[in-house]
Structure 1
């Protein structure tokens, strides 16, 4: 008996050491949890296990036809398909020997009344299909299932040979293998050692459909035997997927809710910061609306000529109006001046449906600005469009384009008080809007120099 337990202890120690060796590369890093409602392809659903342990005629539950059971080494293996996080189907194999004798006296101190003193049963094969139920995935308060309690039950077939020793010391050998069905019921604990390896500690009671497991029929009850084991389970499908058996759907829903709530809080904080920035800008603009630093009657927000000397007459843009009262100079527009303006009109281009001037138009506009500065001309800008789009949109676009040209000329040093920008929309076509060429002609900004 002692030698058997020494062997079992050495085997258990070997399984634990080997499991730690396999787990070295993956214990430190946990795989990401797939999101809620992920398909089964996101998980490892197949696994296989190997185990070894104590095989006995009965342990923990009930009695058999012999009074004293003897522990022996059993061994097993299985392959499992996880259907849902808490449920799977498992195919089991079990082998080993079962031994018992009548060395223990009955409760009244008398020897058992049996023609046999001992038996040895060799389990040649034992295969069963079991339902596997993981309790950790049902207990919703657990976020992770590092320790996984489980129960199993199923149905199987087994074949065994029985050798009986009579009370007189003679042994009867049964040359034929006995085949019986049996019902395995078990429970156990699994411990996650890594992303794809689990330590399995379990107990299984097997109820045989017959009273011939020990070769002797002595009562109305059927025989049974137990298997207490330690083993390892290995997930198939690579190391990049978590096991479906360790997945907790409720914890995944909670994690998804927390992530969504954090994202919403982040978006809300960003929106609040944006609103605060806009409010600060509005406050700054409002202060400029109310402030007239140079006292010329035009608020700083609209004042294009700040720091105008006190007492000077200004226009609506806050720029000083220069009045010539002595020897006024007559302004003469020459053909060269008109050519410069015509060239600017010809080269003027905007981005499609926008008031943004394209850089290719800058050189000719620069020459117009130089002309306005050198000869003190006045300029009227009239924006026009074709009839594509609504009247209101065309009127706004024509006005914005004329204002865009004015802003550019002012940026080049032209006097804003001498430039007038007006938009007429589609109201003054110079060609038919029924053709592409006609519409192109109608999309224009006219320059009138005076």
Structure 2
């Protein structure tokens, strides 16, 4: 009996395949949408009815808890929503009966010794929600294919009631008071043939794995029960007749044809405008021609023949010559200027051992900054220290103090490029470093105005 079921399915597919090949849709029988921009141009909903054989067997796991399974009539229906060209969601319903007995002899050529001789389970209903994926199409030469290979997987719930028969012929209900409900995992595959724009032929085989070992009302072994359904049926697409079914549309072929059509149209448009473009090019060349090279085209040049490189107005005529020679005004250093500098030197004080200028020195330095800005003088700043401390530290301190004065003057608006700051450390004393008064004089910043 095990060989009967697969042979039945194979035979049905063999008989129907030639019929489906003849049912290929003639190009142009329905509208042919362009590059995919959503499902609004297609029919995406369909319903299906089918009939076939139910059996408590699976190619991946044997025949449950009885040795010989039997095929029984089954029936089903589904509603399908096609989301993409190759992906859909399907809600299935299946009903029928499942049968098996222990008449098959085992390896010792004897029938097994078990408590029950056979069973019959009424599959009252089996409802599942599955994803359906089109893994291959047979014809890639047409936008609308006519054969599909698909696989499916999902989850659902089955309701059933097993009845067992003991070895002495007594029937026993496994659950007299109701229906068993178990989680199922359906996994299937199939072939679909397009008979017309509205009807498809559907051949499939689905294995159902149960989350329980009670489908036959008998627990023998450690594996959960399972059952399979091989079927043939019709699928009816829903929606306007002028729209194609999304599942049958070949997106690669559609895109190729649309791009080829766009390319041909563009080439035709370019060819039709070739002469116009040539005339426009000639007119543009004439409009841009500039014989005298003054930057004004001959079309607008009112003064042709101007010298190369001459500056001209919008009409191509020479502009009036303007003397742009800069006038240099030399400022003389006056006695009043020198007095301002001496006053700044005398009032300049720093924090002890630091380059920070005391606020009391700001007013005189502000006057020097104004002088530099007003007359654009140059100023040399020379920093000096006494001999207290090391030579290197004194050299750094003198440089930092001169730079501190420069930064202050620049901050007041003086030109930094006209101020030079140099440090000499203790190398140029103007008084003896042996007395406090002498060291005070040596700690100085000299200003040279020029």
TM bucket, shorter chain: 0.5 to 0.7
C-alpha contact (below 8 Å) 1:53/1:228 kept by paired residues = yes
The aligned residue for residue 30 of structure 1 is 29
Q: CA deviation at 1:179?
A: 1.0
Q: Partner of 2:80 in structure 1?
A: 80
Asked if structure 1 preserves the Cα contact closer than 8 Å seen for 2:138 and 2:147, the reply is no
Contact 1:88 1:131 in 2 (8 A): yes
Quote the residue 2:41 is aligned against.
Answer: 42
Q: TM-score normalised to the size of structure 2?
A: 0.54
CA distance in 2, matches of 1:138, 1:189: 11
**TM-aligned CA deviation for residue 39 of structure 1:** 2.6
Measure the CA separation in 1 of the matches of 2:249 and 2:145.
7
1:30-429 to structure 2, matched below 5 A, reads 30-61=29-60, 62-136=62-136, 144-173=144-173, 174-175=175-176, 176-271=178-273
For 1:265, what is the secondary structure of its paired residue? helix
Residues 84-122 of structure 1: CA deviation (Å, up to 9, x unaligned): 111111110000000101111112322113111110000
Larger deviation: 222-231 or 103-112? 103-112
CA shift for structure 1 position 222:
0.2
Kindly name which structure, 1 or 2, has the bigger radius of gyration based on alpha carbons.
2
Q: Equivalent residue of 2:136, what SS?
A: coil
2: CA distance, partners of 1:172 / 1:96: 20
In 2, Cα distance between equivalents of 1:54 and 1:74? 5
Answer whether contact 2:139 2:145 (CA < 8 A) is retained. no
Q: Contact 1:27 / 1:195 at 8 angstroms: preserved in 2? A: no
Equivalent-residue separation in structure 2 for 1:149 and 1:172 (angstroms): 43
- Name the SS of the counterpart of 1:124 in structure 2: strand
The 2-side partners of 1:29 and 1:96 are apart by 42
Q: CA–CA distance in 2 between the matches of 1:147 and 1:37?
A: 21
User: Is the partner of 1:135 in helix, strand or coil?
Assistant: strand
SS in 1 for 2:263: helix
CA distance in 1, matches of 2:105, 2:37: 60
Q: Give the whole-Å Cα distance in 1 for the aligned partners of 2:109 and 2:146.
A: 49
Q: Deviations over 1:200-233 (max 9, x none)?
A: 1100000011000000000110000000000111
Is the contact made by 1:156 and 1:182 (CA closer than 8 Å) also made in structure 2?
yes
**Residues 114 and 142 from structure 1, CA distance in 2 versus in 1: closer, same or farther, beyond 3 angstroms?**
farther
Cα distance in 2 for partners of 1:24, 1:64 equals: 40
Question: Mind listing any 5+ residue stretches in structure 1 that lack a counterpart?
Answer: 283-391, 394-450
Q: What's the CA shift for 1:64?
A: 1.1
CA distance in 2: counterparts of 1:162 and 1:149, whole angstroms: 35
Do the aligned partners of 1:136 and 1:145 also contact (CA within 8 Å) in 2?
Answer: no
* Contact 2:143–2:249 (CA under 8 A) maintained in structure 1: no
SS of 1:104's partner is coil
Using the alignment, how far apart are the partners of 1:58 and 1:25 within structure 2?
A: 35
Q: Which residue of 2 aligns with 1:299?
A: none
TM-superposed deviation, 1:238: 2.1
Alpha-carbon displacement from aligned partner over 1:399-441 (angstroms, at most 9, x marks no partner): xxxxxxxxxxxxxxxxxxxxxxxxxxxxxxxxxxxxxxxxxxx
CA deviations 1:319-370 (Å, max 9, x no partner) are xxxxxxxxxxxxxxxxxxxxxxxxxxxxxxxxxxxxxxxxxxxxxxxxxxxx
- TM-score, scaled relative to structure 1: 0.54
CA distance 1:142–1:188, shift in 2 (3 Å) = farther
Q: CA deviation at 1:162?
A: 0.8
Q: Deviations over 1:38-84 (max 9, x none)?
A: 33111101111111111000143323111111111110000011111
Aligned length: 272
Contact 1:154 1:185 in 2 (8 A): yes
DSSP-derived class of the 1:92 partner: strand
Alignment RMSD: 3.7
**Cα distance, 1:24 vs. partner?**
9.1
Distance 1:59 1:126 in 2: 17
SS in structure 1 at match of 2:218: coil
Shift of 1:132: 1.1
Q: Structure 2 CA distance, aligned partners of 1:24 and 1:233?
A: 15
